[in-house]
């Protein structure tokens, strides 16, 4: 029996899903659900929005499955769609003036009460400062600094050039620095 690699297994599932096999698409969702949720959690302000973002990402994948060119791993294409759905959510939230909190944070139970309080204050300040950024600035900072994607990976996910990612990251860091300095000056 020949073992299938993830990519060849993905190809089989994609082909079956494109032929109308809903079970194959369900397997794709099951395979990548945690990865999509992990990324989307960085942008969602609550569990309801997280569910909405992830559902929207998988709907877009399903609707556009036939446009997957197979010239890169399926996961890259899926993450690109997820990033764009997150961008849309950030822009929508920005237009409505409803800013969220930072999700996906580490467990603080091992720290002393004072350290936990200070860490929580720092997280709240970071979440507040990130919410003040423009959606594209928040996106690039989150992907680069919090999710630890490379510049190349971010370029692939967003459709920006690598140079553009670097410029946007620099500008976003400057904006974040300015926001935090203004906060400290209060």
Which tens digit of pLDDT belongs to each residue from 81-135?
999 999 888 888 777 765 544 444 444 455 577 776 777 787 788 888 888 899 8
Determine the average pLDDT of the residues in 62-67.
Answer: 91
Domain 1-100 fold is Rna Polymerase Sigma Factor; Chain: A (1.10.1740)
d(CA 165, CA 70): 24
- What pLDDT was estimated at residue 1? 36
Q: Chain centroid to CA 11: how far?
A: 24
pTM of the model: 0.62
d(CA 69, CA 66): 8
* CATH architecture of residue range(s) 107-186: Orthogonal Bundle (1.10)
Structure tokens at 135: 């959606």
- What are the residue ranges spanned by the domains of the chain? 1-100, 107-186
Q: Which of 115, 117, 104 is nearest to 43 (CA)?
A: 104
Q: Is the pLDDT of residue 17 over 70?
A: yes
The number of residues in the chain equals 186
Average pLDDT, the chain: 83
Same fold, 1-100 and 107-186: no
Residue 6: pLDDT band (50, 70, 90) is: low
Q: Which of 94, 178, 177, 180 is nearest to 136 (CA)?
A: 94
């Amino acid at each position: 029996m020949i073992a299938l690699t993830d990519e060849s297994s993905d190809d089989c599932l994609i082909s079956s899903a494109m032929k109308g096999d809903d079970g194959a698409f369900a397997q794709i969702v099951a395979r990548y659900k945690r990865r999509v949720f992990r990324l989307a959690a960085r942008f969602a302000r609550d569990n309801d929005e997280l569910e909405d973002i992830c559902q929207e990402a998988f709907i877009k994948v399903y609707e556009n499955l036939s446009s997957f060119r197979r010239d890169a791993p399926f996961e890259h294409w899926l993450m690109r769609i997820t990033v764009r759905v997150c961008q849309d959510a950030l822009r929508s939230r920005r237009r409505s003036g409803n800013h969220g909190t930072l999700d996906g944070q580490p467990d603080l139970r091992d720290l002393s009460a004072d350290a936990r309080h200070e860490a929580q204050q720092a997280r709240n300040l970071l979440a507040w400062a990130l919410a003040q950024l423009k959606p594209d600035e928040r996106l690039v900072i989150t992907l680069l600094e919090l999710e630890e994607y490379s510049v190349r990976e971010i370029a692939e996910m967003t459709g920006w050039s690598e140079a553009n990612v670097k410029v946007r990251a620099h500008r976003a860091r400057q904006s974040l620095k300015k926001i935090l300095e203004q906060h400290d000056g209060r």
